[in-house]
A and B are shown apart, each in its own frame.
Chain A
Amino acid sequence: MQGSRAVALPGVAPERQRRSENLYLKTFRRLLRSPSGLFGMVVMALLILTAAFAPLIAPHDPLVQNPGAELAVPSGRFPVGTDEFGRDLFSRIVYGARISLLVGVLAVVIGSLVGVSSGLAAGYFGGWTDAVIMRLWDALLAFPAILLGIAVATILGPGVTNAAIALAIVSIPQFSRITRASVLGEKERDYVQAARCLGAGSGRIALRHIFPNTISPLLVQLSLAMGYAVLLEAGLSFLGLGTQPPDPSWGSMLNTSRAYLRQAPWYAIFPGIALSVLLLGLNFLSDALRDALDPKLTHLR
């Protein structure tokens, strides 16, 4: 039985309970030992540090234009060149990390809160609750994610916050389905019956007993969803529906750079590299997390 908050049952060896409580620590250690997991964690750490310390890392103000230095080649003064307004691209990439982190975190937090709670309700209560909730999310899933994101962003208006909300809506169905599937598997287990016999209410059973045992697949989905959200935000900014000028966004930089591909290819290369590395890192991390949380492997301990 997994979960850090295992019910103290009579007759269960204390060693086995201590092993459960150390599961997440062990998962973390396994991630560190995995090359892809380590790469993913390093990328995430870099993203967070870059976003947090952007004013210290960026050599210039990302919004300040430098007339006369438009589309400058990479140099000592401008490490990766400038854009069409003479703004330092390196500083804009650094500050763009904030947008990516903000959108990614906001989208997965909102998406997971709504998705997990609805999935929990659908899976635990079943019946009409399950049918209504799942049909609603199935309807959303019928639309391609980028199309749905564009539709929501168009209704709400362009901007970072609205883009994050749009992306959260796109991610809700996946969180809900994963949670529901896990809940369906867990709710027939003995520990749930035991808790029911002891008089625990539905809310307590769902939140304190079942939910902790559904976290593992959700963790994997979190990192996947964040990567997807970052990519979609770049797509929305590319289409003019995400971050608005003059705020820096990797997606909008990629969009604008298309007009200057021949004159200033660095304009597209470096934001493209930043976006690619982040997406690769998040994918590797989710991959490694899935392996690290694989129950077949944890049972070997």
Chain B
Amino acid sequence: MTPEPTLPRRRFLRRAAALAAGFAAVPLAEACAPIGPTSAPTPAPKAASPQPAAGQAPAAPKTGGRLRMVQTSDVAPREPHLRQDANAPIALTVWDTLTRYDQSLKPQPGLAERWDWSSDFRTLTVKLRQGVKFHSGRELTAEDVEFNIVRIRDPAVGSQMRGASNQIKKIERPDPLTITLGFDKPYLGVFDLFEALVITDRETVGNLDQGKVVGTGPFVWREWTPNEKLVLEKNPAYWQSGAPSLDRVELTVISDVQAMAVQFEAGQQDLALKVSAQDFERLRQDSKYQSVIMDTGNSYFYLSADVSKPPLDKKEVRQALNLAINRERFVQTAMSGISRPTTLPWPQGSPAYDATLDGSVRFDLERARALLQQAGAGSGFEVPITYNQQRTATVGKLVEILQSDLGQLGVKLNAQTQENTVFQRTLNERQFGGLFTHLHGFSNQTPVSLFLQAFPFRKDNASNFSSPEFNRLIDAMDGETDEGKLKELYAAMNRLLLDEAFVVNVATNPSYYVARANVQNVEYSLFDWWVLQRTAVS
């Protein structure tokens, strides 16, 4: 005879139904609760300056203590020269760079103490700071700098800075602390390379996958459990006097963005990077927290077209698609108003920025329809649109808005997502075969760097777009030192970008964070990399 179950099925189902009803009552109760800030909204604090002037004694912060940070992606120390958002907590904490831009895009000394240009701007002599040591105890020399510059030329490294490094045609080391770089033509953009090139230890960089992460930064890599936790400890031999203030930085990885916000609000974290836009807006209303938008112009949403596939080979069709992007709606729906609509790839402080042109493309479905008819695509067409699965929460919403709006013009967008690695490979191999949308950087440096390094804007861009004028403008910018001529070149390139519309910007994608009120002096670079030399937790 079959023994009676301890919890008969029907009783279990009845209890489960009751339990489910109970859970449903919780959000119902929330829905009845008044919606609004629990205290008067406080203005967001000013964003911290991107970088302190190197070598200066920090304003006396509290010393000691630990900072608990949380983000959704794990760090990727195995490839320090591939710029990735996930490495923002370690790029300038474990490693260091030769120079760093200040807010007016002027390079400031870092590991490089000073530098001199030759009169023709084809040779740059860089003097390294004396006495800087890697965490292993070995002193930094010019050979380490040369090693890192050459390393990123390897296609296997996959660095976006490969093109920039290849501009350096000659490297000499007249003494252990001096490195001389020679160029075929003037290359002022070399400081963009210095901004991004973290100096790894040439003796241990081959062992990064064994967890031997060695740099010259203010914090030492102490302990790492992949996808869980990273612990950094103060580097007592750091070259900058009085820094860092903190004893320890603990980074926790929580892949779910809602769970991350819950942990932060529960007091288990001091700083949370990129909670959801909705949670950010909500926490902004609470005076217990600092809510900071890092508006560095580091990242932008864009929409691009593979011009090798009809009808995207017609620029009128591409211009029509540009007019059909409801940027304001995207900013409100996906970013809760945190970001800013834009049609050009430049931050407002960039020498290439043009306010008139940036505002010249407004959402206009009727003009878009007319352009499609002019291009012979008035009856509509079908085209795939691809995006990175990891960006579903933001870019996915742009795709849905576009599907709805373009659907009114008879244009059917077939959304396809690709896993991150696959997407990066497709981007590299330029094989999208339709529309694609993603994020790009390299906008907030010397403008020519965008066209030398960013996948969507290079000569060998992911859109398969090429034109003699496009190439001419890039070549002219690259090596031009006269500011007046550069202004003209930037203006011409902006007009070309809007006219050809093979890649169009949609909105800024600022980083943002929330932190407890007792966290002080959190700073970040142009790339949104954390600068924690002066950070303190009271």
Chain A interfacial positions (CB closer than 8 Å to B)? 36, 63-65, 67, 70, 84-85, 154, 158, 240, 244-246, 258-263, 265-266, 268-269, 272-273, 276, 280, 283-284, 287
Contact = CB atoms under 8 A, between A and B. Distances in A.
A263 B285 CA distance: 14
Contact of A244 (B258, B329, B393, B415): B415
A262 B282 contact: yes
B278 A240 contact: no
**Size band of the B side of the interface?**
35 or more
Nearest to B17: A280
Contacts, number: 73
A216 B30 CA distance: 46
A121 B258 CA distance: 49
B417 interface: yes
B389 interface: yes
Nearest to A247: B415
Contacts of B415: 244-245
B278 A259 contact: yes
Contacts of B258: 258-259, 261
Contacts of B326: 67
Contact of B13 (A70, A154, A284): A284
Interface string B381-401: 000000001001100110111
12 contacts: A65-B401, A85-B333, A85-B397, A245-B396, A245-B399, A245-B400, A246-B400, A246-B404, A259-B258, A259-B279, A265-B31, A266-B31
A280 B282 contact: no
B403 interface: yes
A28 to B, nearest CB: 21
A250 to B, nearest CB: 14
Nearest to A263: B278
Interface of B: 9-10, 13, 16-17, 20, 24, 27-28, 30-31, 35, 257-258, 276, 278-279, 282, 326, 329, 332-333, 389, 392-393, 396-397, 399-401, 403-404, 407, 415, 417, 419
Given A261-B27, A263-B278, A280-B13, 11 more contacts: A67-B326, A70-B333, A85-B397, A158-B417, A245-B400, A245-B403, A262-B278, A262-B282, A269-B27, A272-B24, A287-B10
A231 to B, nearest CB: 13
A258 B333 CA distance: 15
A287 B9 contact: yes
Contacts of A258: 258
Contacts of B393: 259
B329 A67 contact: yes
Closest 7 CB pairs of A and B: A265-B27, A65-B404, A265-B31, A259-B276, A265-B30, A245-B400, A246-B400
A70 B328 CA distance: 14
A265 to B, nearest CB: 3
A220 to B, nearest CB: 12
A3 to B, nearest CB: 24
Considering residues B10, B35, B278, B282, which has the most beta carbons from chain A within 10 angstroms of its beta carbon? B278
B35 A263 contact: yes
B20 A276 contact: yes
A290 B326 CA distance: 55
